[in-house]
Amino acid sequence: MHQPPRWAVRFFDWYCHPGLSEEIKGDLLEQFEHDLDTIGPTKARRNFVLHVIKFFHPKIYKRSYSFAKPTIMMMFLSYLKLAKRSMIKDKVYSVINIAGLSVGLAAGLMITMHIIHELSYDKFHDKADRIYRVAELVTQEGETIENSASLPIPFGTTFLTDYPQFKVTRFFETYNKSPLISWEEGDKRFYEDQFLFTDSSFFDIFSFKLIKGDKATALKDAHAVVLTESMARKYFGDVDPIGKTLKYEKDHLLTVTGVMEDVPSNSHFKFDFLASFQETAQVLKAGGVGSVGDSWFWNPCHTYMRLPEGFHTSDLENLLTEFTQKRVPENLRSDALSISFYPQPLTDIHLHSDLYQEFEPNGSASSVYFSGIISFFILLIAGVNFVNLSTARAVRRSREVGVRKSLGARRSQLIWQFLVESVLISVESMLLALAFIYLLGPSMENLLQLQLGMEVILNPIFHVALWSLVILLGLTAGAYPAFILSGYKPTVIFSDSTNRAGVRRSSWVREGLVIFQLSISTFLIIATIIVFNQREFLFNKDLGFEKENIVMFSIRGTELKDNFEVFRGEVLKHPKVVEASALGSPLGEDALVTRTYFEGIENHLNVYMIAADPNFLNTFGFEVIEGQKPIPGQPIEYDRYYANETFLELFPDSSLASLPRLVGRKRDRQDPIVGIIKDFHFYSLRSEIKPFLFRVIPANHLSFAAVKIQPGSTFNTLNFIEETGQKFIGEQPVDFFFLDDRLDQLYQKEQQASLLFGYFAMLALIITCLGLFSLSSYLATQKTKEISIRKVFGASIANILSNIFKGYLKLILAACIIVVPLSWFMMSNWLQHFAYHVELSWYTIAVGVMASGLIAVVTVSFQSIKAARTNPADSLRLE
């Protein structure tokens, strides 16, 4: 066979650009073969040389054509194809990686959405930065006795008279907070707990949207009411509500003048109705309040104002001081009792204000930071998994790198290939996470009792941030294989048959990351156990009175109040009703600090006090340690007091008999303390028990009824109580609540925290275990040969396992060393928030550590045992 001259071929190879060589050489050879057949070998060779020389041209050896470089798009598609192949090749790895990452991302994303929602409170109002709420501080001899979100009724109107350049609006809720609203034409009547009276300037300050009606005039009329869309539907259905008449309680008539969009969930006050507060006295009377609304002491009105342009917080503070000096009655500016006002920026209220009389329990900045940190850690754990797995797996792929390099892949192409691969995984995980949130978001809101604020999913900025994070995550995870692995020389990769080079180099990073993951999951487990214990403690702690099976309702109208004894006699006829009593407020959540004067003592004392009728002792099962219970049948003596044990600390060295009598402010009465009852928790368990007095008064001054019933056929019993009540109050429904339910709500935050912790700890542990599982399987495969050789030399399975586990135990131990002091410190700090809390014990922490350690060991043992049991003949034969 004739060949073209070798030197010519070599010359061609030397000058021709590699990207063009293949095709041109092919053409040259084809021509040569053709020439051989037609003009004979000598001429063919001469022709070949001639062509080679003619091709020696800058355009051939420099090559500046773009086609020879594959286009970016082409390479990208090829990277995608390779990524797909490698994912399919290693299914377990891909599934674990994507599942773990998407669960982590979903959790992190949900919390982020929740935080965004929390931070967005009240920002939707126009110029929200100029809207303020005024709060009131009541002090007594320098001691704060009330820090209230609501103000005296005259504040708003007086302030507006003095400073007309401000816009001021007040909110007033009726005393019992759920008035009966009825539309008589349509025969609709409901108790509404979101009913606000307000001033006509409401819409000048707040930017809620009216669907029907005119903002400028909607609240002008003294009997105007604006209702939300959903209320319009509830009362009027398809009927146009404008101009219809609603009745507030018994006789206050209101005309619908507007329909408003429902209040967004990120408003710190929510309402369904806005009615005119113009005729204040009439509104108060309709709500069953005796006052005419000119008191500077009673403070039921939340008051908001919009500052004129150019006014600052400090200006407003000065103005409020000046105003207080000028307008507040002198007896409320003395040392004995003084009130002062201070502004709160509207947008700070939700996260930073926790005053008496808030509209609803606000969020707290610390819990936002806290959940932010937790979700960040979950994301971190998931991210660490992803990085670790990609790294561990990359080592196995070093051969692939070698082959690709020998076939002419450039380093940059390999880098891109690995980066595209890991970015693809992170993008897929994010898509899954988003799908998860989209489908399960609403049920997660219920489960975690969190507002997620789903609307943020439609926000483009959110997505920009989201996807940048995803790409960053992918790039980070791909960085090790991309930059380190792609730098290896193929000869090194192929000659180092154990492939250990990469393992050793990355192992300390990986071990550090695993320790980090284990620490976080263990911490979360410990925190969950403690938070859960504390929650159980709060719910189950003996409060010193019986809260179970107590049905309560607020007493409406004087008919029932005046005839409460008759009512009591009627309900007691039912076999399931044990006892009934009237009292001033539900027990266990609140009590009023009252200035109390005592015989022989010049100054007053501050004592917590609740008023009740004499039957409260039996209804709530109070234990009287000293003194007398009212004797049935005997005439009842009113204005008698029962003190708690702590009360005695105010009068050391005295017994019940020697306790001073209470005298009125004018020292015109002498009322004795007739009994000592065992200490009970009249406040939430966050605060300590303080000196307390029960004041026994007739039922006609009391606003709550409490009925102790026996468990079983509760529905019938309630029905009976309602029917009995309706004999007095007419055809109104009675809104019952169970005392224990109501008291459980005091601990909503703890309830939510324990839920959050529980789910997060579970998630963190699952993700960590996923990571450990696949990591251990990689490390086990890497060690297959080592294990086999050990077995050949006589090591038992136990020997090998202990050898493998030693490595993991080291990691678990390191995590323990970090976690134990950390969790001790953090959790004992948290428990300090409660005056009454569970004891933090080493036992609890040990349980948490053991649990997570055990789970980790079990996880790694699957693959390790498998590896230890392999037949050496199989694995050693591989090469």
Partner 1 sequence: MSTNKRKTLGELEEVVLLTVGVLQEEAYGLAITKEIERVTGRSVNMRAIHTTLYRLEEKGFVQSTLGGATKQRGGRRKRLFTMTREGHLAITETKNIRMQLWNLLPAALGGGTNE
Which residues contact partner 1 (rule: CB under 8 A)?
A: 20, 22-27, 29-31, 33, 51, 54-55, 57, 59-60, 65-67
Please give the distance of CA 225 from its chain centroid, rounded to a whole number.
Answer: 35
Rg of the chain taking only CA atoms, in angstroms: 39
Q: Which is nearer to partner 1, 56 or 836 (CB)?
A: 56
Q: Which of helix, strand or coil describes residue 826?
A: helix
Least separation in angstroms between CB 19 and partner 1: 10
Least separation in angstroms between CB 486 and partner 1: 25
Q: Which is nearer to partner 1, 61 or 830 (CB)?
A: 61
Q: Which is nearer to partner 1, 77 or 813 (CB)?
A: 77
Q: Which of helix, strand or coil describes residue 62?
A: coil
Tokens of residue 273, six digits: 């109705």
Least separation in angstroms between CB 80 and partner 1: 19
Calculate ∠ Cα 447-449-455, nearest 5°: 95
483: number of Cβ within 10 Å: 14
- Secondary structure element (H or E) that encloses residue 708, with its range: strand 704-709
Least separation in angstroms between CB 20 and partner 1: 8
Tokens of residue 637, six digits: 């003596």
- Secondary structure element (H or E) that encloses residue 327, with its range: helix 313-327
Least separation in angstroms between CB 38 and partner 1: 12
Calculate ∠ Cα 181-182-188, nearest 5°: 125
Q: Which is nearer to partner 1, 64 or 832 (CB)?
A: 64
Calculate ∠ Cα 601-604-607, nearest 5°: 115
Strand-pairing partners, residue 765, are none
Q: Which of helix, strand or coil describes residue 76?
A: helix
Q: Which is nearer to partner 1, 6 or 89 (CB)?
A: 6
Q: Answer for the pair 639, 671: CB distance below 8 angstroms, yes or no.
A: yes
Least separation in angstroms between CB 864 and partner 1: 48
Q: Which is nearer to partner 1, 65 or 467 (CB)?
A: 65
Least separation in angstroms between CB 207 and partner 1: 50
Question: What is the spatial distance between Cα 368 and Cα 535, in angstroms, rounded to a whole number?
Answer: 20
Q: Which is nearer to partner 1, 30 or 496 (CB)?
A: 30
Q: Which of helix, strand or coil describes residue 582?
A: strand
Calculate ∠ Cα 68-69-72, nearest 5°: 140
Q: Which is nearer to partner 1, 75 or 605 (CB)?
A: 75
Question: What is the spatial distance between Cα 361 and Cα 358, in angstroms, rounded to a whole number?
Answer: 7
Least separation in angstroms between CB 76 and partner 1: 17
* DSSP state for residue 615 in the 8-state scheme: T
Strand-pairing partners, residue 696, are 612, 640
Q: Which is nearer to partner 1, 66 or 658 (CB)?
A: 66
Q: Which is nearer to partner 1, 55 or 418 (CB)?
A: 55
Q: What is the DSSP string of 409-459?
A: --HHHHHHHHHHHHHHHHHHHHHHHHHHHHHHHHHHHHHHT----GGGGG-
- Secondary structure element (H or E) that encloses residue 784, with its range: helix 784-792
Tokens of residue 189, six digits: 């009547």
Nearest to 8 by CA among 63, 59, 50, 43: 50
Q: Which is nearer to partner 1, 1 or 461 (CB)?
A: 1
* DSSP state for residue 699 in the 8-state scheme: G
Least separation in angstroms between CB 40 and partner 1: 19
Least separation in angstroms between CB 404 and partner 1: 18
Q: Which is nearer to partner 1, 413 or 861 (CB)?
A: 413
End-to-end Cα spacing for the chain: 40
Q: Which is nearer to partner 1, 62 or 678 (CB)?
A: 62
Least separation in angstroms between CB 63 and partner 1: 8
Q: Answer for the pair 158, 145: CB distance below 8 angstroms, yes or no.
A: no
Question: What is the spatial distance between Cα 776 and Cα 796, in angstroms, rounded to a whole number?
Answer: 20
Helices and strands, number each (H, E), in the chain: 27, 24
Q: Which is nearer to partner 1, 30 or 649 (CB)?
A: 30
Nearest to 296 by CA among 239, 357, 243, 341: 341
Least separation in angstroms between CB 39 and partner 1: 14
* DSSP state for residue 731 in the 8-state scheme: S
* DSSP state for residue 359 in the 8-state scheme: S
Beta strands in 280-405 (DSSP E): 301-306, 338-345
Please give the distance of CA 59 from its chain centroid, rounded to a whole number.
Answer: 66
Question: What is the spatial distance between Cα 151 and Cα 328, in angstroms, rounded to a whole number?
Answer: 12
Q: Which is nearer to partner 1, 6 or 666 (CB)?
A: 6
Least separation in angstroms between CB 60 and partner 1: 7
Question: What is the spatial distance between Cα 109 and Cα 462, in angstroms, rounded to a whole number?
Answer: 11
Least separation in angstroms between CB 25 and partner 1: 5
Strand-pairing partners, residue 197, are 172, 275
Q: Which is nearer to partner 1, 22 or 141 (CB)?
A: 22
Tokens of residue 56, six digits: 């020696």
Q: Which is nearer to partner 1, 67 or 793 (CB)?
A: 67
Least separation in angstroms between CB 412 and partner 1: 21
Q: What is the DSSP string of 831-852?
A: HTT-SS-PPP-HHHHHHHHHHH
Least separation in angstroms between CB 67 and partner 1: 5
> Counting beta carbons within 10 angstroms of the beta carbon of residue 190, is it exposed (0 to 12), middle (13 to 18) or buried (19 or more)?
middle
Least separation in angstroms between CB 47 and partner 1: 10
Q: Which is nearer to partner 1, 37 or 143 (CB)?
A: 37
Please give the distance of CA 265 from its chain centroid, rounded to a whole number.
Answer: 14
Question: What is the spatial distance between Cα 94 and Cα 102, in angstroms, rounded to a whole number?
Answer: 12
